[in-house]
């Protein structure tokens, strides 16, 4: 029996013993015993205080036997309660309970965060990347063992629960979330979570793992923005290692550099920001942040201008694609934020 259940059982036993004592003393004591007398005898017996008796029980054998048995029951109940509370503290469940409450409060305060569904190897990679790039997120997974592995990666907010249930997604703050990454063991579960997530938040960006390429169309119809195939990605990586090893090695070094976290990032230019209306040369992005502008996607367009010239003018709604570290991106987001 878990410690928490034992504590509940101990409290229930206390209540039953208390009522038994009050009723027993009142019934067996006769008309001379008031309810206050019965309460008094029950309390001093349960608490083992040992004050004087409210009434003399020595003249009534039945009442003496009841008092004797009641004392033994009280001692057993107290011993059971003490061991239950001790186990609750020693086994760490009290610490876990307080930790969960604290974590749930942190999760309830999250906004524009990401939700990671699952605890497999793919989810571990997702969590590691979100930690490195300092993005707010919460993990929802049914397995305590998988969550324990994820917690070893760093400070991770998590909920143990079934991601296919709406209650778990709501507890993770899906109505306020920016996006959800779905990485469960089967396409059926991933598809179900995609449907639920889209229904709960129509503005949510959904990236789902699709094991079967034939099922990607169903994911799109269910509301997924992007469907990722581990098999396809793995095949592309193997080919890249074969035909462009130097480029692949460079990207690996960039992704795994322990001294600084470099990533290909994107920044959208807001209305009235410091970057709006300036050219790339005039904005001095590289000088101010160290970030390298690789491409620009103009507002309202799906095309990208690769290696843009220095006289390219930055407009509201443009998206800059850059190679930068986390600190540089933080500065750029402030520069590009709407006034």
Q: Each residue of 188-222: pLDDT tens digit?
A: 999 999 999 999 999 999 999 999 988 899 999 99
Model pLDDT, residue 339: 61
Model pLDDT, residue 252: 80
Exposure of 234 in the CB half-sphere (CA atoms within 13 A): 5
| pLDDT (mean) for 324-334 | 82
Model pLDDT, residue 202: 94
Residue ranges and CATH numbers for the domains of the chain are 3-90 (1.10.287.70), 110-234 (3.40.50.720), 261-336 (3.30.70.1450)
In the chain, pLDDT over 70 holds for what percent of residues?
91
CA angle 182/204/324 to nearest 5° reads 80
Does 166 score more than 70 pLDDT? yes
Model pLDDT, residue 289: 87
Q: What is the pTM of this model?
A: 0.65
SS3 state at 317 = coil
Lowest mean pLDDT among 144-148, 175-179, 195-199: 144-148
| pLDDT (mean) for 173-202 | 95
Does 99 score more than 80 pLDDT? no
Q: CB–CB of 232/239 below 8 Å? A: no
188: left (phi over 0), alpha (psi -120 to 50) or beta: alpha
Model pLDDT, residue 25: 82
């Amino acid at each position: 029996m878990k410690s928490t259940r034992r504590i509940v059982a101990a409290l229930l036993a206390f209540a039953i013993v208390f009522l038994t004592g009050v009723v027993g003393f009142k019934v067996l004591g006769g008309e001379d015993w008031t309810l206050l007398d019965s309460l008094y005898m029950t309390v001093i017996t349960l608490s083992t205080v040992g004050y004087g008796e409210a009434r003399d029980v020595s003249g009534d054998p039945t009442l003496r036997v009841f008092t004797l048995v009641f004392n033994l029951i009280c001692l057993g109940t107290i011993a059971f309660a003490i061991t239950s509370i001790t186990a609750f503290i020693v086994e760490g469940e009290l610490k876990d309970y307080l930790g969960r409450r604290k974590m749930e409060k942190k999760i309830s305060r999250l906004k524009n965060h990401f939700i990671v569904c699952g605890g497999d190897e793919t989810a571990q990679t997702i969590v590691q990347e979100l930690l490195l790039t300092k993005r707010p997120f919460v993990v929802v997974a049914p397995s305590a063992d998988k969550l324990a592995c994820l917690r070893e990666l760093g400070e991770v907010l998590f909920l143990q629960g079934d991601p296919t249930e709406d209650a778990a997604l709501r507890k993770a703050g899906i109505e306020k979330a920016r996006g959800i990454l779905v990485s469960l063991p089967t396409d059926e579960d991933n598809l179900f979570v995609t449907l639920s997530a889209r229904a709960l938040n129509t503005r949510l960006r959904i990236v789902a793992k699709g094991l079967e390429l034939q099922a990607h169309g169903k994911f799109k119809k269910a509301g997924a923005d992007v469907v990722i195939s581990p098999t396809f990605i793995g095949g592309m990586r193997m080919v890249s290692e074969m035909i462009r090893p130097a480029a692949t090695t460079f990207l690996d070094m960039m992704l795994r550099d322990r001294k600084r976290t470099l990533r290909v990032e994107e920044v959208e230019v807001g209305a009235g920001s410091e970057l709006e209306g300036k050219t790339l040369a005039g904005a001095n992005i590289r000088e101010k942040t160290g970030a390298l502008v690789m491409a620009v996607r103009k507002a309202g367009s799906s095309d990208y201008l690769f290696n843009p010239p220095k006289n390219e003018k930055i407009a509201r709604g443009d998206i800059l694609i850059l190679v930068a570290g986390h600190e540089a991106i933080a500065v750029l987001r402030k520069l590009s934020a709407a006034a």
